[in-house]
Structure 1
Protein backbone atom coordinates (compact mmCIF):
# COMPACT_ATOMS: atom_id res chain seq x y z
CA UNK A 1 0.00 0.00 0.00
CA UNK A 2 3.02 2.34 0.00
CA UNK A 3 2.29 3.65 -3.51
CA UNK A 4 -1.37 4.24 -2.62
CA UNK A 5 -0.28 6.00 0.59
CA UNK A 6 2.04 8.24 -1.43
CA UNK A 7 -0.87 9.07 -3.74
CA UNK A 8 -3.00 10.00 -0.74
CA UNK A 9 -0.26 12.24 0.67
CA UNK A 10 0.26 13.90 -2.72
CA UNK A 11 -3.47 14.49 -3.11
CA UNK A 12 -3.59 16.21 0.28
CA UNK A 13 -0.62 18.43 -0.60
CA UNK A 14 -2.29 19.42 -3.90
CA UNK A 15 -5.44 20.32 -1.97
CA UNK A 16 -3.48 22.87 0.11
CA UNK A 17 -1.79 24.79 -2.71
CA UNK A 18 -2.28 25.63 -6.39
CA UNK A 19 1.49 25.54 -6.94
CA UNK A 20 2.96 22.75 -9.04
CA UNK A 21 6.47 22.30 -7.61
CA UNK A 22 9.25 21.70 -10.11
CA UNK A 23 12.00 21.07 -7.58
CA UNK A 24 12.11 19.55 -4.08
CA UNK A 25 14.64 20.66 -1.46
CA UNK A 26 15.38 18.75 1.75
CA UNK A 27 16.93 20.92 4.46
CA UNK A 28 19.32 19.46 7.03
CA UNK A 29 20.11 20.40 10.63
CA UNK A 30 20.47 24.16 11.12
CA UNK A 31 19.62 24.92 7.48
CA UNK A 32 15.85 25.34 7.78
CA UNK A 33 15.92 29.13 7.44
CA UNK A 34 15.93 28.82 3.66
CA UNK A 35 12.26 27.83 3.76
CA UNK A 36 11.46 31.13 5.48
CA UNK A 37 12.70 33.08 2.44
CA UNK A 38 10.20 31.62 -0.06
CA UNK A 39 7.63 33.84 -1.74
CA UNK A 40 3.88 33.09 -1.67
CA UNK A 41 4.62 30.33 0.81
CA UNK A 42 2.21 28.04 2.62
CA UNK A 43 3.34 25.66 5.36
CA UNK A 44 1.93 22.23 6.13
CA UNK A 45 2.84 20.48 9.36
CA UNK A 46 3.99 16.91 8.79
CA UNK A 47 1.35 15.68 11.23
CA UNK A 48 -1.31 16.97 8.82
CA UNK A 49 -0.01 15.05 5.80
CA UNK A 50 -1.31 11.47 5.57
CA UNK A 51 1.34 8.85 6.35
CA UNK A 52 4.15 11.36 7.02
CA UNK A 53 6.28 10.74 10.11
CA UNK A 54 7.31 13.51 12.54
CA UNK A 55 10.71 15.16 12.96
CA UNK A 56 11.95 14.80 16.53
CA UNK A 57 15.40 16.41 16.27
CA UNK A 58 16.32 19.99 17.18
CA UNK A 59 16.87 22.03 14.04
CA UNK A 60 14.18 20.19 12.06
CA UNK A 61 10.94 22.20 12.07
CA UNK A 62 8.85 19.32 10.79
CA UNK A 63 6.87 20.95 8.03
CA UNK A 64 6.55 21.04 4.26
CA UNK A 65 6.72 24.51 2.73
CA UNK A 66 5.40 25.19 -0.77
CA UNK A 67 6.43 28.47 -2.32
CA UNK A 68 8.59 30.17 -4.92
CA UNK A 69 12.33 30.81 -5.04
CA UNK A 70 13.10 33.43 -7.69
CA UNK A 71 9.63 32.74 -9.12
CA UNK A 72 10.29 28.97 -9.43
CA UNK A 73 7.66 26.85 -7.59
CA UNK A 74 9.34 24.43 -5.18
CA UNK A 75 8.54 22.09 -2.29
CA UNK A 76 10.82 22.31 0.74
CA UNK A 77 11.14 19.81 3.54
CA UNK A 78 11.98 21.93 6.56
CA UNK A 79 13.39 19.00 8.49
CA UNK A 80 13.60 15.30 7.65
CA UNK A 81 13.09 11.90 9.23
CA UNK A 82 16.16 9.91 10.27
CA UNK A 83 16.75 6.19 10.55
CA UNK A 84 18.28 6.77 14.01
CA UNK A 85 15.01 8.23 15.27
CA UNK A 86 13.59 4.71 15.06
CA UNK A 87 11.79 5.15 11.75
CA UNK A 88 11.88 2.45 9.12
CA UNK A 89 13.57 3.09 5.79
CA UNK A 90 10.11 3.08 4.20
CA UNK A 91 9.19 6.04 6.42
CA UNK A 92 12.49 7.82 5.74
CA UNK A 93 11.94 7.47 1.97
CA UNK A 94 8.23 8.26 2.01
CA UNK A 95 8.46 12.05 1.36
CA UNK A 96 10.71 11.39 -1.65
CA UNK A 97 8.19 8.93 -3.04
CA UNK A 98 5.42 11.45 -2.45
CA UNK A 99 7.43 14.03 -4.41
CA UNK A 100 7.71 11.49 -7.22
CA UNK A 101 3.95 11.04 -7.30
CA UNK A 102 3.61 14.85 -7.33
CA UNK A 103 5.61 14.87 -10.56
CA UNK A 104 8.77 16.45 -9.17
CA UNK A 105 11.79 15.36 -11.19
CA UNK A 106 14.66 17.20 -9.49
CA UNK A 107 15.68 17.15 -5.82
CA UNK A 108 18.39 18.98 -3.88
CA UNK A 109 19.38 17.17 -0.69
CA UNK A 110 21.23 19.09 2.03
CA UNK A 111 22.67 18.06 5.36
CA UNK A 112 25.01 19.01 8.17
CA UNK A 113 28.19 16.92 8.10
CA UNK A 114 31.53 16.44 9.80
CA UNK A 115 34.70 16.95 7.75
CA UNK A 116 37.29 14.21 7.25
CA UNK A 117 39.26 16.45 4.92
CA UNK A 118 41.62 18.97 6.50
CA UNK A 119 41.05 21.33 3.56
CA UNK A 120 37.30 21.52 4.32
CA UNK A 121 36.89 23.55 7.48
CA UNK A 122 33.67 24.21 9.43
CA UNK A 123 31.55 26.81 7.70
CA UNK A 124 32.32 25.58 4.19
CA UNK A 125 30.04 23.66 1.83
CA UNK A 126 30.72 20.33 0.13
CA UNK A 127 29.11 19.39 -3.16
CA UNK A 128 28.45 15.65 -2.94
CA UNK A 129 30.03 13.87 -5.89
CA UNK A 130 29.30 10.34 -4.63
CA UNK A 131 28.46 8.50 -1.43
CA UNK A 132 29.30 5.53 0.76
CA UNK A 133 26.29 3.79 2.29
CA UNK A 134 27.57 2.57 5.67
CA UNK A 135 24.14 2.58 7.36
CA UNK A 136 23.99 -1.21 7.40
CA UNK A 137 20.90 -1.45 5.21
CA UNK A 138 19.81 -0.63 1.68
CA UNK A 139 16.56 1.39 1.80
CA UNK A 140 15.14 -0.50 -1.21
CA UNK A 141 15.41 -3.87 0.55
CA UNK A 142 12.14 -5.81 0.39
CA UNK A 143 9.39 -6.19 -2.22
CA UNK A 144 9.77 -3.82 -5.17
CA UNK A 145 6.88 -1.80 -6.56
CA UNK A 146 7.58 -1.21 -10.26
CA UNK A 147 5.46 1.95 -10.10
CA UNK A 148 8.33 3.54 -8.14
CA UNK A 149 11.12 2.06 -10.24
CA UNK A 150 13.07 -0.98 -11.39
CA UNK A 151 14.10 -3.78 -9.06
CA UNK A 152 17.83 -3.11 -9.60
CA UNK A 153 18.35 0.65 -10.13
CA UNK A 154 21.73 1.80 -11.44
CA UNK A 155 23.76 3.90 -8.99
CA UNK A 156 26.65 4.87 -11.28
CA UNK A 157 25.67 8.56 -11.32
CA UNK A 158 23.53 9.10 -8.24
CA UNK A 159 24.43 12.80 -8.13
CA UNK A 160 23.65 14.37 -11.48
CA UNK A 161 26.78 15.71 -13.18
CA UNK A 162 25.00 18.56 -14.95
CA UNK A 163 23.51 19.73 -11.65
CA UNK A 164 26.96 19.59 -10.08
CA UNK A 165 28.35 21.85 -12.80
CA UNK A 166 25.50 24.33 -12.30
CA UNK A 167 26.19 24.46 -8.56
CA UNK A 168 29.92 24.98 -9.12
CA UNK A 169 29.28 27.74 -11.67
CA UNK A 170 26.93 29.62 -9.35
CA UNK A 171 29.32 29.24 -6.41
CA UNK A 172 32.11 30.69 -8.57
CA UNK A 173 29.91 33.69 -9.38
CA UNK A 174 29.23 34.29 -5.69
CA UNK A 175 32.95 34.00 -4.93
CA UNK A 176 33.82 36.49 -7.66
CA UNK A 177 31.20 38.96 -6.43
CA UNK A 178 32.61 38.68 -2.92
CA UNK A 179 36.13 39.35 -4.17
CA UNK A 180 34.98 42.39 -6.13
CA UNK A 181 33.21 43.75 -3.04
CA UNK A 182 36.44 43.54 -1.05
CA UNK A 183 35.55 40.52 1.08
CA UNK A 184 38.21 38.45 2.81
CA UNK A 185 39.56 36.04 0.14
CA UNK A 186 39.09 33.19 2.61
CA UNK A 187 35.33 33.73 2.33
CA UNK A 188 35.39 33.04 -1.39
CA UNK A 189 36.72 29.47 -1.13
CA UNK A 190 33.58 27.99 0.40
CA UNK A 191 32.59 25.15 -1.96
CA UNK A 192 34.43 21.84 -2.25
CA UNK A 193 33.60 18.50 -3.85
CA UNK A 194 33.73 15.22 -2.01
CA UNK A 195 32.33 11.84 -1.04
CA UNK A 196 29.66 11.72 1.67
CA UNK A 197 29.63 8.73 4.03
CA UNK A 198 26.26 7.94 5.63
CA UNK A 199 26.06 6.13 8.99
CA UNK A 200 23.05 5.08 11.01
CA UNK A 201 23.85 7.16 14.13
CA UNK A 202 22.82 8.54 16.56
CA UNK A 203 26.29 8.43 18.13
CA UNK A 204 29.06 10.41 16.56
CA UNK A 205 31.89 8.30 15.21
CA UNK A 206 35.00 7.21 17.10
CA UNK A 207 38.43 8.42 15.98
CA UNK A 208 39.26 4.85 14.85
CA UNK A 209 36.11 4.75 12.71
CA UNK A 210 36.98 8.10 11.17
CA UNK A 211 40.45 6.84 10.25
CA UNK A 212 38.78 3.86 8.54
CA UNK A 213 36.31 5.99 6.60
CA UNK A 214 39.13 8.26 5.43
CA UNK A 215 40.93 5.20 4.08
CA UNK A 216 37.73 4.24 2.25
CA UNK A 217 37.69 7.61 0.50
CA UNK A 218 35.14 9.59 2.53
CA UNK A 219 35.47 13.38 2.78
CA UNK A 220 32.49 14.03 5.05
CA UNK A 221 30.31 11.97 7.36
CA UNK A 222 26.68 12.26 8.45
CA UNK A 223 23.48 10.39 9.33
CA UNK A 224 21.11 11.12 6.45
CA UNK A 225 20.77 11.90 2.72
CA UNK A 226 21.81 8.56 1.22
CA UNK A 227 18.42 6.81 1.71
CA UNK A 228 16.70 9.79 0.06
CA UNK A 229 19.24 9.88 -2.77
CA UNK A 230 18.73 6.17 -3.45
CA UNK A 231 14.94 6.54 -3.34
CA UNK A 232 15.10 9.52 -5.72
CA UNK A 233 17.26 7.65 -8.22
CA UNK A 234 14.90 4.67 -7.97
CA UNK A 235 12.18 7.12 -9.04
CA UNK A 236 14.29 8.43 -11.92
CA UNK A 237 14.85 11.86 -10.35
CA UNK A 238 17.88 14.06 -10.89
CA UNK A 239 19.71 14.46 -7.58
CA UNK A 240 22.09 17.09 -6.21
CA UNK A 241 23.58 16.99 -2.72
CA UNK A 242 25.19 19.72 -0.61
CA UNK A 243 26.72 19.23 2.84
CA UNK A 244 27.20 22.09 5.26
CA UNK A 245 30.47 21.29 7.04
CA UNK A 246 29.76 22.03 10.69
CA UNK A 247 32.74 20.44 12.46
CA UNK A 248 35.84 18.32 12.05
CA UNK A 249 35.10 14.65 12.69
CA UNK A 250 36.21 12.79 15.81
CA UNK A 251 39.96 12.67 16.29
CA UNK A 252 40.65 15.37 13.70
CA UNK A 253 40.97 17.91 16.54
CA UNK A 254 40.96 17.78 20.32
CA UNK A 255 37.46 19.26 20.46
CA UNK A 256 34.39 17.23 21.46
CA UNK A 257 31.47 17.16 19.00
CA UNK A 258 27.99 18.35 19.95
CA UNK A 259 24.71 19.16 18.21
CA UNK A 260 24.79 22.80 19.38
CA UNK A 261 27.94 23.35 17.31
CA UNK A 262 26.15 21.87 14.30
CA UNK A 263 23.26 24.31 14.74
CA UNK A 264 25.51 27.34 15.26
CA UNK A 265 27.58 26.64 12.15
CA UNK A 266 24.46 26.11 10.07
CA UNK A 267 23.19 29.53 11.13
CA UNK A 268 26.55 31.12 10.34
CA UNK A 269 26.63 29.94 6.73
CA UNK A 270 22.90 30.54 6.16
CA UNK A 271 23.33 33.59 3.91
CA UNK A 272 25.70 32.03 1.35
CA UNK A 273 23.82 28.73 1.52
CA UNK A 274 20.49 30.43 0.76
CA UNK A 275 21.96 32.56 -2.01
CA UNK A 276 23.51 29.50 -3.66
CA UNK A 277 20.26 27.51 -3.47
CA UNK A 278 18.22 30.31 -5.00
CA UNK A 279 20.65 30.78 -7.88
CA UNK A 280 20.82 27.07 -8.58
CA UNK A 281 17.03 26.67 -8.51
CA UNK A 282 16.71 29.54 -11.00
CA UNK A 283 18.98 27.61 -13.38
CA UNK A 284 16.83 24.47 -13.21
Structure 2
Protein backbone atom coordinates (compact mmCIF):
# COMPACT_ATOMS: atom_id res chain seq x y z
CA UNK A 1 0.00 0.00 0.00
CA UNK A 2 1.35 3.40 -0.99
CA UNK A 3 1.06 6.21 1.54
CA UNK A 4 -0.32 9.54 0.42
CA UNK A 5 2.22 12.27 1.07
CA UNK A 6 1.47 16.01 1.04
CA UNK A 7 2.20 17.91 -2.17
CA UNK A 8 4.02 20.70 -0.36
CA UNK A 9 5.87 21.21 2.92
CA UNK A 10 6.83 24.48 4.60
CA UNK A 11 10.36 24.49 6.04
CA UNK A 12 11.10 27.12 8.68
CA UNK A 13 14.81 27.89 9.02
CA UNK A 14 15.91 28.41 12.63
CA UNK A 15 19.69 28.31 12.18
CA UNK A 16 20.43 32.03 12.59
CA UNK A 17 18.81 31.96 16.02
CA UNK A 18 18.56 28.42 17.38
CA UNK A 19 21.79 27.38 15.69
CA UNK A 20 24.08 30.31 16.37
CA UNK A 21 23.02 30.79 20.00
CA UNK A 22 24.89 27.61 20.90
CA UNK A 23 28.11 28.42 19.05
CA UNK A 24 31.24 29.50 20.94
CA UNK A 25 32.32 31.69 18.04
CA UNK A 26 30.38 34.97 17.88
CA UNK A 27 29.84 36.13 14.31
CA UNK A 28 29.59 39.76 13.22
CA UNK A 29 26.21 41.23 12.34
CA UNK A 30 27.42 41.65 8.76
CA UNK A 31 28.16 37.93 8.45
CA UNK A 32 24.82 36.99 9.99
CA UNK A 33 22.95 39.34 7.65
CA UNK A 34 24.79 37.95 4.63
CA UNK A 35 23.94 34.40 5.67
CA UNK A 36 20.27 35.28 6.12
CA UNK A 37 20.25 36.95 2.70
CA UNK A 38 21.68 33.78 1.17
CA UNK A 39 18.99 31.72 2.90
CA UNK A 40 16.21 33.90 1.51
CA UNK A 41 17.76 33.74 -1.98
CA UNK A 42 17.72 29.95 -1.68
CA UNK A 43 13.95 30.05 -1.42
CA UNK A 44 13.33 29.85 2.32
CA UNK A 45 10.29 31.97 3.12
CA UNK A 46 10.45 31.75 6.91
CA UNK A 47 13.71 32.56 8.69
CA UNK A 48 14.21 33.03 12.43
CA UNK A 49 16.73 35.86 12.44
CA UNK A 50 17.64 36.37 16.09
CA UNK A 51 16.44 36.71 19.68
CA UNK A 52 15.45 39.73 21.74
CA UNK A 53 16.25 38.18 25.10
CA UNK A 54 18.59 40.04 27.44
CA UNK A 55 22.00 40.11 25.67
CA UNK A 56 23.81 38.98 28.81
CA UNK A 57 22.01 35.63 28.61
CA UNK A 58 22.78 34.99 24.95
CA UNK A 59 25.76 37.14 23.91
CA UNK A 60 25.90 35.38 20.54
CA UNK A 61 22.66 37.19 19.61
CA UNK A 62 23.24 40.53 21.35
CA UNK A 63 23.18 42.31 17.98
CA UNK A 64 19.57 41.47 17.04
CA UNK A 65 18.68 45.05 16.09
CA UNK A 66 21.79 45.41 13.94
CA UNK A 67 21.12 42.19 12.07
CA UNK A 68 17.52 43.17 11.34
CA UNK A 69 18.70 46.56 10.06
CA UNK A 70 21.25 44.96 7.72
CA UNK A 71 19.32 42.16 6.06
CA UNK A 72 17.94 42.71 2.57
CA UNK A 73 14.28 41.96 3.10
CA UNK A 74 12.90 39.88 0.29
CA UNK A 75 9.21 40.12 -0.54
CA UNK A 76 7.30 37.08 0.63
CA UNK A 77 9.84 36.13 3.32
CA UNK A 78 8.81 36.25 6.98
CA UNK A 79 11.68 37.31 9.26
CA UNK A 80 10.96 36.07 12.79
CA UNK A 81 12.58 36.52 16.20
CA UNK A 82 12.35 35.04 19.67
CA UNK A 83 10.75 37.37 22.22
CA UNK A 84 10.64 36.58 25.98
CA UNK A 85 8.60 39.46 27.43
CA UNK A 86 7.18 42.93 26.79
CA UNK A 87 10.60 44.56 26.95
CA UNK A 88 11.87 42.20 24.29
CA UNK A 89 8.74 42.79 22.24
CA UNK A 90 9.31 46.54 22.29
CA UNK A 91 12.78 46.01 20.82
CA UNK A 92 11.43 43.51 18.28
CA UNK A 93 8.68 45.83 17.05
CA UNK A 94 11.15 48.66 16.59
CA UNK A 95 13.22 46.28 14.47
CA UNK A 96 10.08 45.43 12.45
CA UNK A 97 10.04 41.68 12.96
CA UNK A 98 7.64 39.76 10.75
CA UNK A 99 6.69 37.18 13.35
CA UNK A 100 6.95 37.09 17.14
CA UNK A 101 8.10 33.77 18.62
CA UNK A 102 7.44 32.83 22.25
CA UNK A 103 9.04 30.00 24.13
CA UNK A 104 8.36 27.80 27.13
CA UNK A 105 8.64 24.17 28.13
CA UNK A 106 6.22 21.34 28.80
CA UNK A 107 8.58 20.29 31.60
CA UNK A 108 8.32 22.20 34.86
CA UNK A 109 12.00 21.73 35.70
CA UNK A 110 13.24 22.60 32.22
CA UNK A 111 11.05 25.71 32.22
CA UNK A 112 12.57 26.80 35.54
CA UNK A 113 16.12 26.17 34.30
CA UNK A 114 15.52 27.89 30.96
CA UNK A 115 13.49 30.98 31.89
CA UNK A 116 13.56 31.04 35.71
CA UNK A 117 9.78 30.71 36.07
CA UNK A 118 7.27 27.98 36.69
CA UNK A 119 4.89 27.07 33.88
CA UNK A 120 2.03 28.81 35.68
CA UNK A 121 4.15 31.95 36.16
CA UNK A 122 5.11 31.95 32.47
CA UNK A 123 1.56 32.03 31.10
CA UNK A 124 0.66 35.62 32.20
CA UNK A 125 3.95 36.98 30.82
CA UNK A 126 3.36 35.39 27.43
CA UNK A 127 -0.29 36.40 27.39
CA UNK A 128 0.76 40.05 27.57
CA UNK A 129 3.21 39.56 24.73
CA UNK A 130 0.61 37.86 22.54
CA UNK A 131 -1.93 40.64 23.10
CA UNK A 132 0.57 43.40 22.28
CA UNK A 133 2.01 41.57 19.28
CA UNK A 134 -1.46 40.99 17.86
CA UNK A 135 -2.33 44.64 18.40
CA UNK A 136 0.74 45.48 16.33
CA UNK A 137 -0.49 43.23 13.53
CA UNK A 138 2.11 40.49 14.00
CA UNK A 139 1.61 36.75 13.78
CA UNK A 140 2.68 34.85 16.88
CA UNK A 141 4.38 31.48 17.10
CA UNK A 142 4.81 29.46 20.28
CA UNK A 143 7.71 27.08 20.87
CA UNK A 144 6.96 24.30 23.35
CA UNK A 145 10.15 22.52 24.39
CA UNK A 146 10.67 18.98 25.73
CA UNK A 147 7.39 17.61 24.36
CA UNK A 148 8.76 14.06 24.38
CA UNK A 149 11.20 14.00 27.27
CA UNK A 150 13.21 16.23 29.59
CA UNK A 151 16.80 15.80 30.82
CA UNK A 152 15.56 16.31 34.40
CA UNK A 153 12.11 14.70 34.51
CA UNK A 154 12.39 11.96 31.91
CA UNK A 155 9.42 11.21 29.67
CA UNK A 156 6.83 13.99 29.64
CA UNK A 157 3.15 12.92 29.75
CA UNK A 158 1.09 13.93 26.72
CA UNK A 159 -1.43 15.51 29.10
CA UNK A 160 1.27 17.88 30.33
CA UNK A 161 2.07 18.96 26.78
CA UNK A 162 -1.61 19.45 26.01
CA UNK A 163 -2.05 21.69 29.05
CA UNK A 164 0.59 24.07 27.68
CA UNK A 165 -0.71 23.86 24.10
CA UNK A 166 -4.28 24.55 25.24
CA UNK A 167 -3.28 27.68 27.09
CA UNK A 168 -1.11 29.07 24.30
CA UNK A 169 -3.80 28.58 21.67
CA UNK A 170 -6.39 30.14 23.98
CA UNK A 171 -4.14 33.23 24.15
CA UNK A 172 -4.31 33.54 20.37
CA UNK A 173 -0.99 32.01 19.33
CA UNK A 174 -1.21 31.24 15.59
CA UNK A 175 1.08 28.21 15.45
CA UNK A 176 2.68 25.87 17.96
CA UNK A 177 6.11 24.38 17.27
CA UNK A 178 6.42 21.11 19.20
CA UNK A 179 10.04 20.50 20.11
CA UNK A 180 11.85 17.27 20.90
CA UNK A 181 14.52 19.47 22.45
CA UNK A 182 16.97 16.76 23.48
CA UNK A 183 16.45 14.51 20.47
CA UNK A 184 15.30 11.34 22.22
CA UNK A 185 11.96 10.87 20.50
CA UNK A 186 11.02 7.93 18.28
CA UNK A 187 8.10 7.70 15.83
CA UNK A 188 5.76 5.85 18.20
CA UNK A 189 6.09 8.67 20.76
CA UNK A 190 5.49 11.33 18.11
CA UNK A 191 2.44 9.39 16.93
CA UNK A 192 1.05 9.18 20.47
CA UNK A 193 1.55 12.92 21.02
CA UNK A 194 -0.02 14.01 17.75
CA UNK A 195 -2.87 11.52 18.03
CA UNK A 196 -3.95 13.22 21.23
CA UNK A 197 -3.44 16.81 20.09
CA UNK A 198 -5.18 16.29 16.76
CA UNK A 199 -8.35 15.20 18.56
CA UNK A 200 -8.76 18.84 19.57
CA UNK A 201 -6.86 20.84 16.97
CA UNK A 202 -6.10 20.95 13.24
CA UNK A 203 -2.78 19.75 11.86
CA UNK A 204 -2.02 23.15 10.34
CA UNK A 205 -1.87 24.66 13.84
CA UNK A 206 1.33 22.70 14.53
CA UNK A 207 4.91 22.52 13.35
CA UNK A 208 7.42 19.90 14.44
CA UNK A 209 10.90 20.75 15.73
CA UNK A 210 13.16 17.72 15.90
CA UNK A 211 16.74 17.44 17.13
CA UNK A 212 18.86 14.61 15.77
CA UNK A 213 20.83 13.60 18.86
CA UNK A 214 20.10 9.89 18.31
CA UNK A 215 19.55 9.92 14.56
CA UNK A 216 15.75 9.71 14.68
CA UNK A 217 14.81 13.19 13.43
CA UNK A 218 13.95 12.24 9.83
CA UNK A 219 12.03 9.17 11.00
CA UNK A 220 10.02 11.47 13.25
CA UNK A 221 9.40 13.81 10.32
CA UNK A 222 8.00 10.90 8.33
CA UNK A 223 5.46 9.89 10.97
CA UNK A 224 4.48 13.54 11.35
CA UNK A 225 3.90 13.78 7.59
CA UNK A 226 1.70 10.70 7.74
CA UNK A 227 -0.38 12.38 10.43
CA UNK A 228 -0.93 15.51 8.38
CA UNK A 229 1.79 17.88 9.63
CA UNK A 230 3.27 19.97 6.81
CA UNK A 231 5.45 22.51 8.64
CA UNK A 232 8.87 21.64 10.03
CA UNK A 233 11.67 23.58 11.71
CA UNK A 234 15.23 22.85 10.66
CA UNK A 235 18.68 24.38 10.87
CA UNK A 236 21.20 24.59 8.06
CA UNK A 237 24.07 22.22 8.70
CA UNK A 238 22.30 20.78 11.75
CA UNK A 239 23.45 23.70 13.90
CA UNK A 240 21.99 24.00 17.38
CA UNK A 241 21.60 22.03 20.56
CA UNK A 242 20.29 22.26 24.08
CA UNK A 243 22.52 23.88 26.75
CA UNK A 244 20.66 21.96 29.48
CA UNK A 245 21.05 18.48 28.01
CA UNK A 246 24.51 16.95 27.93
CA UNK A 247 25.29 15.46 24.53
CA UNK A 248 22.23 16.88 22.79
CA UNK A 249 23.13 17.78 19.23
CA UNK A 250 21.55 20.17 16.79
CA UNK A 251 18.34 20.40 14.86
CA UNK A 252 17.53 18.23 11.88
CA UNK A 253 19.62 19.70 9.06
CA UNK A 254 17.73 21.72 6.48
CA UNK A 255 19.68 20.23 3.59
CA UNK A 256 19.10 16.65 4.79
CA UNK A 257 15.39 17.33 5.25
CA UNK A 258 15.26 18.92 1.80
CA UNK A 259 16.97 15.91 0.22
CA UNK A 260 14.40 13.53 1.65
CA UNK A 261 11.38 15.66 0.77
CA UNK A 262 12.59 16.34 -2.76
CA UNK A 263 13.22 12.64 -3.32
CA UNK A 264 9.65 11.95 -2.20
CA UNK A 265 8.29 14.40 -4.76
CA UNK A 266 7.23 16.94 -2.13
CA UNK A 267 7.56 20.61 -3.05
CA UNK A 268 9.41 23.03 -0.77
CA UNK A 269 10.29 25.94 -3.04
CA UNK A 270 13.94 25.69 -1.99
CA UNK A 271 16.87 25.66 -4.42
CA UNK A 272 19.25 22.91 -3.28
CA UNK A 273 22.38 24.37 -4.88
CA UNK A 274 21.86 27.80 -3.34
CA UNK A 275 21.08 26.21 0.00
CA UNK A 276 24.34 24.26 -0.04
CA UNK A 277 26.20 27.43 -1.00
CA UNK A 278 24.71 29.10 2.10
CA UNK A 279 25.84 26.09 4.15
CA UNK A 280 29.41 26.33 2.82
CA UNK A 281 29.39 30.06 3.61
CA UNK A 282 28.45 29.63 7.28
CA UNK A 283 30.76 26.63 7.63
CA UNK A 284 33.69 28.81 6.61
CA UNK A 285 32.67 31.65 8.92
CA UNK A 286 32.27 29.33 11.92
CA UNK A 287 35.58 27.64 11.04
CA UNK A 288 34.15 24.20 11.78
CA UNK A 289 32.66 21.41 9.67
CA UNK A 290 28.87 21.22 9.66
CA UNK A 291 27.50 17.87 10.74
CA UNK A 292 24.77 17.23 8.17
CA UNK A 293 24.93 14.19 5.90
CA UNK A 294 24.83 16.39 2.81
CA UNK A 295 27.80 18.44 3.97
CA UNK A 296 29.75 15.34 4.98
CA UNK A 297 29.10 13.92 1.52
CA UNK A 298 30.27 17.17 -0.12
CA UNK A 299 33.52 17.07 1.86
CA UNK A 300 34.19 13.45 0.87
CA UNK A 301 33.45 14.22 -2.76
CA UNK A 302 35.90 17.15 -2.76
CA UNK A 303 38.64 14.92 -1.33
CA UNK A 304 38.07 12.28 -3.98
TM over 0.5: no
More helix by share: 2
Which interval holds the TM-score relative to the shorter structure? 0.3 to 0.5
After TM superposition, the score normalised by the length of structure 2 is 0.31
Q: TM-score, normalised by structure 1?
A: 0.32
**Structure with higher RCO (Cα < 8 A, 6+ apart):** 1
